[in-house]
Amino acid sequence: MAYLLGIDIGTSATKTLICDGKGKVIATAMADHPIYSPKPGWSEQEPEDWWKSTCDATKAVLKKAKVKATDVGGIGLSGQMHGSVFLDKNGKSLRRALLWNDQRTAEQCADIEAKAGGREALIGMVANPALTGFTAPKILWLRDKEPKVYDKVKRILLPKDYIRLRMTGEYATEVSDASGMLLLDVRNRTWSDKLLSLLEIDKAMLGKLYESQEITGTLHEEGAKALGLKPGIPVVGGAGDQAAGAVGNGIVNAGIVSATLGTSGVVFAHAEQPTLDPKGRVHTMCHAVPGKWCIFGCMLSAGGSFQWLRNTLGSSEIALAKKKGVDPYELLVDEAATAPAGCEGLFFLPYLTGERCPHPDPTARGGWIGITARTTRAMLIRSLLEGVTFGMRDALEIMRQMNVAVTQVRASGGGARSAFWRQLQADIYKSPIVLTNAAEGPAYGVALLAGVGTGAFKSVEEACKASIKQTLKVSPNKKSVAKYDLSFRTYDKLYPDLKERFGEMAALAE
Cβ-Cβ contacts under 8 Å for 307 (sequence gap 6 or more): 263
Bind-site residues for substrate: 81-82
User: Domain extents for the chain?
Assistant: 3-249, 303-435+477-508
One fold for 3-249 and 303-435+477-508: yes
Amino acid at 64: K
Query: Cis before residue 358, ω within 30 degrees of 0?
Result: yes
Question: Does the active-site annotation cover 485?
Answer: no
Predicted confidence at residue 122, as pLDDT, reads 97
Task: Give the H/E segment covering residue 348.
Answer: strand 347-349
Indicate the pTM of the whole model.
0.89
pLDDT of residue 119: 94
For residue 337, report the phi and psi dihedrals to the nearest 5 degrees.
-65, -15
Given 20, 241, 277, 361, which residue is catalytic?
A: 241
Q: Give the β-pairing of 208-210 and 215-218.
A: unpaired
* 487 DSSP assignment: H
Walking along the chain (510 residues) 10 residues at a time, the average pLDDT comes out as: 94 95 95 92 96 98 96 97 97 97 93 96 95 96 98 98 98 98 98 98 98 98 98 98 93 90 91 90 96 93 95 94 93 97 98 90 94 98 98 95 89 89 96 89 96 96 94 95 97 97 90
Q: Are 433 and 425 in contact (CB under 8 A)?
A: yes
Would you say 264 and 302 are in contact if contact means Cβ atoms under 8 Å apart? yes
- Environment class of 70 (CB within 10 Å of its CB; exposed 0-12, middle 13-18, buried 19+): exposed
Determine the Cα angle at 297 with ends 197 and 135, to 5°: 30
> What is the fold, at CATH topology level, of the domain defined by 303-435+477-508?
Nucleotidyltransferase; domain 5 (3.30.420)
Look at the alpha carbons of 427, 429, 432, 434 in this order and tell me if their dihedral is positive or negative: negative
CA distance 455 to 171: 24
Angle among Cα 66, 67, 70 to the nearest 5 degrees reads: 150
CA dihedral 49, 55, 57, 60 (to 10 degrees): -150
Please tell me the class of the 3-249 domain. Answer: alpha beta
